[in-house]
Amino acid sequence: MHIVFAASECVPFAKTGGLADVVGALGPELVKLGHEVTVYLPLYAGVRRQLPEELAYAVRSITIPFDSYNRFVGIVDGGCHAGVQYYFVDCPEIFDRLGLYGTGGVDYPDNAERFALFSRAVLEATKQLGVPEVFHVHDWQTALIPVYLRTTYNTDPALKKAGCVLTIHNAGYQGQFPPATTGQLLFPWELFTLDKLEHFDCFNFLKGGLVYADILTTVSRKYAEEIQTPEFGEKLDSVLQGRAADLRGILNGVDYAQWNPATDANLAANYSPEKLDGKKLCRAELLRAFGLEKVEETTAVIGIVSRFATQKGFDLVEQIAGELSEREVAVVALGSGEPALEKFFRDWAYWNRANVAVRIGYDDALAHRIEAGADIFLMPSRYEPCGLNQIYSLKYGTVPVVRATGGLDDTIEEWNSTQQTGTGFKFKGLNSSALLAAIDRALAAFEDQAGWKRLMLNGMARNYSWEQPAREYAAAYEEAAGRRRE
Ligand code: ADP
Ligand code: GLC
């Protein structure tokens, strides 16, 4: 089957979070199963830098109309990698910017136009370069594709047989814009109603996708259940309940070619379950890099790599920072995002120079070194659709402490010291004392060296490769394509 991915992120071209890892890894895995995969991405400034000076245009100009003007888009051939064909949507005035979605923590004001243009350009491009059996679109940025398919383009003979699968990577980001967006994007006003594109007086990209896609998926079974409740549904719970029969939870996999301590080129030393020594070297190197070389061997090192967003629950860490500083524990954190959270981490490190260090920014190699060098990996997320870092941590023998939500709950099993089973530590409530209790359980376990080694090895033995999820996606594509054949 031919599947077209339309996404706003994909490794190695453009990344702000796990969406990029997923889009980058799923394609090659589907190719292994015998499918044909084409990926469309915006040609951001960061992508431009990875391409040759002379761009290879597959399509020179496509007209994308707006209310009072047209934009003209080129499609750049990005070549074939690991069996996957890449195309970049080129519209410099819209995409040739350093940030993917904004700058300095503020969204670009024209994001509705940017991602509507991208979505429509992908549909137009496929008419020249190959219409797939199924479009697989990801998050709000490409959620207008199913809307266009079943409204503006519903009588297009080239596209009307194409199915569409929408994956929700994060229901917290919906692409909500003023009602006037309807007219700007040339949608008829009849679509701006509660059962279609309108949501709480806004034009809502994700909601449109939820209404019009053939099959919906999200990135863990638990999150598929959670988003149907008011607590996690981000006000889309009733829409999702209405489509429960078409909603699947497919847990993300991991690209072990990128995330494996036995082969990871970013590390001071490689290691494996059979030969763990290298992890000690990674720990020492990490502490040196963060200026924490005085940390004792008996002190547990907690690692954090994250977008600093409210979603990630670091406000809970802030509430226990004082108490944690009294424990025998060191913290290394890498992240960037909301100014208040960056400030908290900076201040925490400033007042606890011997034990807490933070790097504000985005650094892929350092993320790998933290996965390898830390003893414990902390993810206290308020919600977490899947979460990849806790799964990477398992492979790196770095024990996750997580909040029992979404994919964190699905992938981490509480350590049972009597039976020597489990892979990490979980807490349920949304309060800092539950978090502190989970960290304390981890610190107590860390004192028992033999038990800790078992716990590490339990995690390292878990396999979250893409093979199984890719089969589940293939089944979802089959279902979506089937509906269009009816
Ligand atoms: P989310 O997509 O919500 O950010 P995930 O756990 O699914 O969460 O994925 C996050 C991905 O982004 C991981 O690959 C992680 O290593 C990476 N990442 C997040 N923040 C940073 C950072 N500051 N530097 C480098 N990599 C980061
Ligand atoms: C989102 C979610 C994260 C998930 C990732 C990839 O950004 O926040 O939990 O792992 O998408 O699906």
Nearest to 377 by CA among 397, 406, 350, 360: 397
CATH number 3.40.50.2000 given to 2-253+467-485: yes
**For 201-235, how does the pLDDT look when each residue is reduced to its tens digit (9 = 90+)?**
999 999 999 999 999 999 999 999 999 999 999 99
- Site to probe by mutation for ligand 2, drawn from 169, 234, 259 as the one with most ligand atoms within 8 Å of Cβ, is 169
Is the CB of residue 21 below 6 angstroms from any atom belonging to ligand 1? yes
Is the CB of residue 385 below 6 angstroms from any atom belonging to ligand 2? yes
**pLDDT at position 104:** 83
Model confidence, pTM:
0.97
DSSP letter string, 337-406: E-HHHHHHHHHHHHHTTTTEEEEES--HHHHHHHHHH-SEEEE--S--SS-SHHHHHHHTT-EEEEESSH
Across the beta sheet with 176-177, what order do the strands follow?
176-177, 202-204, 198-199
- How does the average pLDDT of the chain come out, rounded? 97
Assign residue 387 a region (left: φ > 0; alpha: ψ between -120 and 50; beta: otherwise). left
Q: Which stretches within 74-110 are classed as H helix? A: 92-95
**pLDDT at position 105:** 81
CA distance 73 to 117: 9
**For 44-99, how does the pLDDT look when each residue is reduced to its tens digit (9 = 90+)?**
999 999 999 999 999 999 999 999 999 999 999 999 999 999 999 999 999 999 99
Neighbours of 63 (CB within 10 A): 10
For ligand 2, the distance from its centroid to the CA atom of residue 260, given in whole angstroms, is 20
Is the CB of residue 27 below 6 angstroms from any atom belonging to ligand 2? no
Say if 2-253+467-485 and 277-460 have the same CATH topology. yes
For ligand 2, the distance from its centroid to the CA atom of residue 223, given in whole angstroms, is 11
Q: What is the CATH number of domain 277-460?
A: 3.40.50.2000
| Pairing assessment for the beta strands 70-81 and 57-65 based on DSSP bridges | antiparallel
For ligand 2, the distance from its centroid to the CA atom of residue 406, given in whole angstroms, is 10
CB contact at 8 A, 372 and 395: no
**For 348-394, how does the pLDDT look when each residue is reduced to its tens digit (9 = 90+)?**
999 999 999 999 999 999 999 999 999 999 999 999 999 999 999 99
Q: Residue 32: what are its φ and ψ, rounded to 5°?
A: -60, -30
Is the CB of residue 335 below 6 angstroms from any atom belonging to ligand 1? yes
CA distance 379 to 251: 17
For ligand 1, the distance from its centroid to the CA atom of residue 306, given in whole angstroms, is 5
Residue 486 confidence (pLDDT) above 90: no
The domain locations on the chain are 2-253+467-485, 277-460
Torsion of CA 473, 478, 483, 486, to 10 degrees: 180
Per residue in 294-312, is it b (16+ CB within 10 Å) or e — as a string? ebeeebbbbbbbbebbebb
Nearest to 474 by CA among 27, 22, 25: 27
Is the CB of residue 386 below 6 angstroms from any atom belonging to ligand 2? yes
Q: State the residue for tokens 């071209």.
A: 13
Is the CB of residue 370 below 6 angstroms from any atom belonging to ligand 1? no
Is 255 strand, coil or helix?
coil
CA distance 115 to 140: 9
| Pairing assessment for the beta strands 202-204 and 176-177 based on DSSP bridges | antiparallel
Nearest atom in ligand 2 to the alpha carbon of residue 407 is 9
